[in-house]
Amino acid sequence: MVDKNYLKASIISVIIILIISIVFIGQSGQPGFTSILPIDSLGLQFLYFFTWMWLGAIIGIFFGYILAPLFLYIHKQIIGRNMTYGIQEIQDPNPNKFKGILKGFFPALMAINFALIFFEDPFIHSLIIGDMNPSDAVTIILGMVILLSVTSGIAIALFSPVWFLQDSGIIYSNKEKLEKKRLPLEVRSVGGWYLYLLKGYAGISVLLSFYIIFSNYATQELENIPGLIFFLVFPITLTLLMIPSIIILEKITEHRTKYMQKYAKKFGIVKKVQVKFEEI
C-alpha cells in the first residue's frame, strides 16, 4: 500500500515538473540563451536544464554506494584513531511513511552555492553565456539555470553517502579515551558528523553568497527586482525538484543499510551498540 505522504510528495514533484514544462514549452518559439546546446529555443533549453536538475539528483543518489565506504574509511583513519566504533540497530516506527519532502533543502543550498562559485569563473561564464553582462541579474539567473543542471547532482552525490552512513547506524565513541582522561562519554553518528559539516557549509556559504548578490543589486534598477525574487524562491523550487531522488533514497533504505554494514565489518566495525538511559 502506498503511503499518503509518498503519494503527496510524488504529486507535488509531478506538478512542479508539469508547470515548468508548460511554461517553457510555451516559450519554444523564442531564440535560445546559450550556444552549448544544439537547439536554439528558449523554452526547450530551459526545459532541458530543469530536467537535468531532478535527473542529476536521482543519479547523485547512487553515488552513495561509491562514496559512503570511502567516507567511512576516511573518518576511521583521521577522526577515529582513538575511538571505538560500533553499529546501532535503528528501528523506524513508520517505515512506509515518507518523511523527506524538505530533505533536499540543504543539498539545494549547496548546489546553488556551487553554481554561483562556478559562474564567477571567467572561462565558464564565457562558455555558457557568451558575452552577456556578468553583473546583470538576468544573466546570473540564466547562468545558474545552466550550472544547476550539473551542481544539483554533485550536491546530492555529496549528501547521499552521508545519508547512507546515518541510516546504517554506524556510530563512534570516545570510550577508549576515558581510560586515560577524565572526560564525559560521547557517542556520535558517523553520518551525523559529516551531515553537520555539510549543512554548516551549505547554510553559511549560500547566506554569504545571497548577501553579496542582494547588496549588489538591491540598490540598482527596479528591473533587477524579479531576479532578487528568483534567488529567494529558487532554493524551495530546487528542493521540490529533488523529491524524486529522496523517494528513491528512502525506498532503498534496507538495501543500502545492509550494504554499509557489510563494509563496516570489512573495516573492523563488528560491535553491536545499545544506548540506554537509566534513572539515578
Q: Is residue 278 part of a domain?
A: no
| 227 CB-near residues (< 8 Å, 6+ apart) | 137, 138, 140, 141, 217
pLDDT confidence band for 175 (50 / 70 / 90): confident
Q: Which residues pair with 188 in a beta bridge?
A: 172
DSSP string, 185-205: --EEEHHHHHHHHHHHHHHHH
Which tops the pLDDT comparison, 74 or 140? 74
Per-residue pLDDT tens digits for 183-205: 677 889 999 999 999 999 998 98
107 found inside a domain: yes
Q: Is there a domain that residue 279 lies in?
A: no
Higher pLDDT, residue 99 or 177: 99
Which structural domain range is residue 83 located in? 4-31+39-272
Does residue 1 have a pLDDT over 60? no
Residue 219 counted as domain residue: yes
For residue 130, the model assigns a pLDDT of 75
* Number of domains forming the structure of the chain: 1
Q: What are phi and psi of 268, to 5 degrees?
A: 85, 15
